[in-house]
Amino acid sequence: MTLTEILERRAQENAQDTAYIIKGDQKVTFAQFNEQCEVLAAALSGLGIKAGDRFAICLRNSLEFTSTWFALAKLGAIAVHVNFMISEEEMTYILKDSGSKAMVTQREFLNKARQSAASAGTEWLVVTDAEPNENKEINFQELLSRGSGKKYPKSPVKENTTAAILYTSGTTGKPKGAMLSHGNLFSNVRDVSIHFGLKPKNEVILCILPLFHVFALTDIMLLGIYNGYPVVIVESITPPKPWLKLMAKWKVSLFAAVPPIYHVLSKEAKGIKGLVLKYLFFRSVRICVSGAAPLPLEVLKTFEKKFGIPVLEGYGLTETSPAVTMNTLAKRKQGTVGTVLPNMEVKIIGDDGKELGLGEEGEICVKGPNVMLGYFNLPEDTKAAFASDGYFKTGDVGRFDNEGYLTICDRKKDMIIVKGLKVFPAQIEEIILRHPKVQEAAVVGIPLNNGDEIIKAFVVPRKDEQIEKNEIQEIVQTSLPAYKRPREIEFRSELPKNALQKILKRELRREAIEKSKTNRAVTVAV
């Protein structure tokens, strides 16, 4: 089944049911949403957008984002997701690499978008909330008016038709565009629904995660369309007060977030404030889902104790559409990312490529209808990403227990080697986060000339708290063997993050390496 077929079915079967709640109080029914998508598809066709064309979306969460996405799907065109937080240089690269024919953006990002579009040779720029000032720019509402009353050319969209290109974070080299088909995304939202035991028209979802990320795309936007759930769209994750109020107003029952949000909520849930959070804002929530990064066990336990709501942690990647494993309400195991979703196969392999047994740590490999078509215009990288038996090599390290629950150890690239022994930063970070004065922590490895590495921890104290290095040293000494303890500790007021509030370790690692080189040079000079 294709994603356009899902929307059209909803528009017929649940025509007057709410699809989206926007701007706090405006309801948009499935029939209204589908109609806007069809009008927009006709208008985009008038701009010359056709099947197979790439069209970039650089917007905050909004109805314009979702309607543009589905309008492109109806045309058989491809939505290129653009992280609005990236630099002009990075945006130019994505537009040029994808060959995007046009881009939709908003006033907030307009200057950057104009420069990037001009540099990349992107033909059209659609602006949602500002007046266009050039020949190849058009206002979103004006574009809609052009499509009113017109038919769009229906493309023979199939399950293997590419629906979206999402660029990976680019931990090494340039970002790569993962091509996700209608079938990839449909199978994932279907299998997540089956695994969770979700029932149609039974939930209200809050969308605070950015829709350019695959987590929000599949497990919020498409999950709502597939099951007929209303989605409360929140433009920005900060400040939190507006979306907390919306949770109470619309009785949100399914809350999806990333670990840093659960960490902040756990820290804030004290005294009167904690009671307000629990009994006012979170009173209707029955399921909390965590993904995109490992959730420290201490954070999970603290949140569940203070809010009384189960947090179901899952695991996935952009290349897998994204969910691969998830815990469920029926059976969950704290500290794991759950069991494998239906219709997928997952195995653990060693450095020699051979499958490992239960309890053994190795690289996680995935096969199933959710796995991407490949990387856009990168046949060699695509080939390298798959094993000879067709399994996608995730680059993550994990292990299965005897009940089929997967535990993530860390990113293979984040793994630190100390005296020939493997050290996973996530384990150290979890220990440091237990300290009541710690707000955030990130651990990286600094390579030495002898092939060894030293461990460095970056720590952010809680507001109005002061921590001494010996306090961090004490907590790791009681919980970790000597070779896993950080040799360097640096306190920061904040850590670099992406739009999902995920800590950018590659930046911290680069800074640590540069600082280490400088210190060595100074030592030699002295």
Task: Give the closest residue to 12 by CA, choosing from 232, 228, 229, 222.
Answer: 228
Architecture of domain 416-525: 2-Layer Sandwich (3.30)
Q: Is the peptide bond before 259 cis (omega within 30 degrees of 0)?
A: no
Q: Which residues of the chain have pLDDT under 70?
A: 169-173, 420, 449-451, 518-526
Q: Is the peptide bond before 486 cis (omega within 30 degrees of 0)?
A: no
Contacts of 68 (CB under 8 A, 6+ apart): 40, 55, 57, 59, 79, 104
Task: Give the closest residue to 33 by CA, choosing from 73, 1, 76.
Answer: 73
pLDDT of residue 170: 52
**Token pair of 475, please?**
């907590």
Q: Which fold has domain 3-11+24-180?
A: Rossmann fold (3.40.50)
CATH 3.30.300.30 in the chain, residue ranges: 416-525
CA distances from 95 to 140, 214, 290, 301, 379 (A): 20, 18, 31, 42, 19
Task: Give the closest residue to 289 by CA, choosing from 297, 278, 300.
Answer: 300
pLDDT of residue 267: 85
251-285 per-position pLDDT tens digit:
999 999 988 889 889 888 888 888 899 989 999 99
pLDDT of residue 129: 92
CATH 3.40.50.12780 in the chain, residue ranges: 3-11+24-180
pLDDT of residue 208: 95
pLDDT of residue 410: 75
Pairing of strands 362-367, 392-400: antiparallel
For 239, other C-beta atoms within 10 Å of its C-beta total 8
pTM comes to: 0.85
Report how far residue 19's alpha carbon sits from residue 27's, in angstroms, rounded to the nearest whole number: 8
CA 445 to chain centre: 24
Contact 171, 98 (CB under 8 A): no
pLDDT of residue 482: 86
Task: Give the closest residue to 492 by CA, choosing from 475, 521, 520, 515.
Answer: 515
pLDDT of residue 244: 96
